[in-house]
A and B are shown apart, each in its own frame.
Chain A
Amino acid sequence: MDILLQQIINGLVQGSIYAMVALGYTMVYGIMGLINFAHGEVVMIGTLVAISIVTLLVQSGMPPALAGAFGVAGAALVCMALGWSLERVAYRPLRQAQRLAPLITAIGCSIVLQNLAMMIWGRNYMTFPPLIEKTQFEFAGASFTSVQVMIVTVAALSMSGLLFLVYRTKLGMAMRATAQNPAVAGLMGVNANRVISSAFVVGSALGAVAGVMVGTYYEIAHYQMGFMLGLKAFTAAVLGGIGNLAGAMAGGVLLGLIEALGAGYIGDLTGGFLGSHYQDIFAFAVLIIVLMFRPSGLFGEKTGDRA
């Protein structure tokens, strides 16, 4: 029983990270129907920028929590600029092109960003300095840390912020309108270019925050970390129904839970034949099964909710 609870806690933490990154994919997809394959790399850049800022500030004697706040802000700024320029350079010129052309530019950008990061930060693993003191809590036989609590809290706050932005502000209304019908939204005076740019910027900011979360959670970062993280987050977005905000959040948390529970129980389920290194298979197998029965994801049909 305590294993179950423990894995649920781990899954929730991992899942909120996935959800944050998945939102970046789903916002862009909802508005322009494009898979921003470079989003994982944006998250990676966010983590590495945060490492540099935090390390520098902590060394000059700033308290880690404050340095962490500056780190998040700096990472968010860099990522927002990056997301904005990605859209301008790689995607906007291709809006009328065949569907797969932006996919290839996205892959090109991904390769460029990864190698740029390797040139700047080197090819070694970097340690993420601790931002808050790591205390252990016990609850019904399962343990969790203050870092995990912080991650889930920050994720919940950011996601509520996003929901507020999308459903309670003028920009959000413009986003929803563009998602439903770009041409008509344009006739109503919505500047589609601005809306698309802002979707990239907001998604990248969430990605930057997620990047810092990943850094504090695993205490390690690497220029190749974005690829797998992006892949999982994209899986989560599709699982929930890509283009749907609530779907991305639910898909992210669900994927985290599936992975954690899968890793915890796969040995027992198969009589020790398959070990926990098959946890990635769980994520993809569940995805395939879900899509077999619901071909547009768990929440895919509620198109009115698309951001």
Chain B
Amino acid sequence: MNKWLTPRSSLGLVLVAAALIALPFIAGMGGQAWVRILNFAILYAFLALGLNIVVGFAGLLDLGYIAFYAVGAYTWALLASPHFGLHLPFWAILPIGAVLACAAGALLGAPTLKLRGDYLAIVTLGFGEIVRIFMNNLNAPVNITNGAQGITLIDPVIIGQFKFSATSTIFGITVSGPQKYYYLLVLLALGVILVNYRLQHSRIGRAWQAIREDEIAAKAIGINTRNVKLLAFAMGASFGGIAGGIFAAMQGFVSPESFSLIESIMILAMVVLGGMGHIPGVILGAVLLTILPEALRYAVVPVQKALFGEVLADPESLRMLVFGLALVLVMRFRPAGLWPSPERRRELAEKVR
């Protein structure tokens, strides 16, 4: 451990920490909207790292990951809103959400153990859609999820008297709601990064890697592939559940619309585009894919005006068009992702030879 704490690396750590602390105030200068975008970038990084356990480490293609996020979000929404009149504290709801999502993960994992590759992909996709359809329709005959209207007035994160949604002054510095959430999200993200790193080289992590490379061989050397695969699903799902809870609290509103298939696909794109199985790469992918569409939102109209003197194309579709092109181009020129793990890069180089 001590070899990590050379003077140079500790200086780097201090600089990164200072940047992380200062970031919301720098973003805040451009308006609170940018702080919110920043928050979503971190939330998506959190989700992508959760999915990375399933897809990157264990090599199980999961196209329904958003379902666990939805379970977490709805758990928070139902347990802390006027909908049922429940207002449980955050330290109770977040674990409940994580456990429920974990159970959902095991539920999805159990019937799919025999499936491989693309068959697994379509089943997870179907599972995600089933969850969304239930959220959309469970308002009759008993109103549980309030259907497509969603649930509003969800409690924010409150620790003691400290409310995360309101602006307050701490030590003479005014901190807005989104900025407070930023620090909470950074803490959670650091947690998930730590878990990812510790898992990667643990016994379980190596078992996942073995399954990813060759499931039959993994079985032959004595890995209990069933349990280990279930564990991957369950762990990935619990992180999804936690992220979902924070999402519900941060937005104050959930509806089935936020949990469509395209969201699952976007998170997968973050993992693959960044560099599957490589933690810094996944974070980079998540941050880029969250910021890029937002940055394009601000850029398309002025750029069109500058080039053609008028707005020719619908800015919204142009923005997504550029985004789609960016996905294609990145994969075209960096098929292993923007920042692949060194081992992966070595493997690919060997294949070419």
Binds B, one of A43-51, A60-68, A210-218, A282-290: A282-290
Binds A, one of B91-99, B125-133, B170-178, B241-249: B125-133
Q: Evaluate contact between B276 and A98: CB separation under 8 angstroms.
A: yes
Question: What residues of B have a CB within 8 angstroms of the CB of A97 in the complex?
Answer: 331, 335-336
Per-residue B-contact encoding for A266-292, CB less than 8 Å = 1, 0 else: 000000111101101101110110011
Q: Evaluate contact between B61 and A100: CB separation under 8 angstroms.
A: yes
Per-residue A-contact encoding for B328-353, CB less than 8 Å = 1, 0 else: 10011001100000000000100110
Q: Is A231 an interface residue (CB 8 A)?
A: yes
Binds A, one of B39-47, B72-80, B229-237, B265-273: B265-273
Q: Evaluate contact between B314 and A104: CB separation under 8 angstroms.
A: no
Q: Evaluate contact between B332 and A93: CB separation under 8 angstroms.
A: yes
Smallest Cβ distance from B98 to chain A, in angstroms?
24
Please name the residue on chain A nearest to B117 by beta carbon: A99
Question: What residues of B have a CB within 8 angstroms of the CB of A227 in the complex?
Answer: 262
Smallest Cβ distance from B109 to chain A, in angstroms?
12
Tell me the complex Cα distance, A281–B131, Å: 9
Q: Evaluate contact between B118 and A35: CB separation under 8 angstroms.
A: yes
Question: What residues of B have a CB within 8 angstroms of the CB of A107 in the complex?
Answer: 265, 269, 324, 327
State which residues 193-244 of A face B: CB under 8 Å: 227, 231, 234-235, 238, 242
Question: What residues of B have a CB within 8 angstroms of the CB of A235 in the complex?
Answer: 122, 126
Most buried by A among B127, B133, B137, B328: B328
Most buried by B among A97, A98, A231: A98
Tell me the complex Cα distance, A125–B123, Å: 31
Q: Evaluate contact between A108 and B111: CB separation under 8 angstroms.
A: no
Known A-B contacts A35-B121, A94-B332, A111-B327; the reply to A118 vs B317 at CB < 8 A is yes
Q: Is A116 an interface residue (CB 8 A)?
A: yes
Question: What residues of B have a CB within 8 angstroms of the CB of A127 in the complex?
Answer: none
Q: Evaluate contact between A119 and B314: CB separation under 8 angstroms.
A: yes
B residues sitting closer than 8 Å to A (CB atoms) are: 55, 61, 111-112, 114-119, 121-123, 125-127, 129-130, 133-134, 136-137, 140-141, 261-262, 265, 268-269, 272-273, 276, 313-314, 317-318, 320-321, 323-328, 331-332, 335-336, 348, 351-352
With A96-B335, A109-B328, A277-B137 given, name 20 new contacts (CB 8 A).
A35-B121, A90-B328, A96-B351, A97-B336, A100-B55, A103-B272, A104-B331, A107-B265, A108-B325, A112-B325, A115-B318, A115-B321, A119-B313, A231-B125, A273-B141, A283-B126, A284-B130, A285-B126, A291-B112, A297-B119
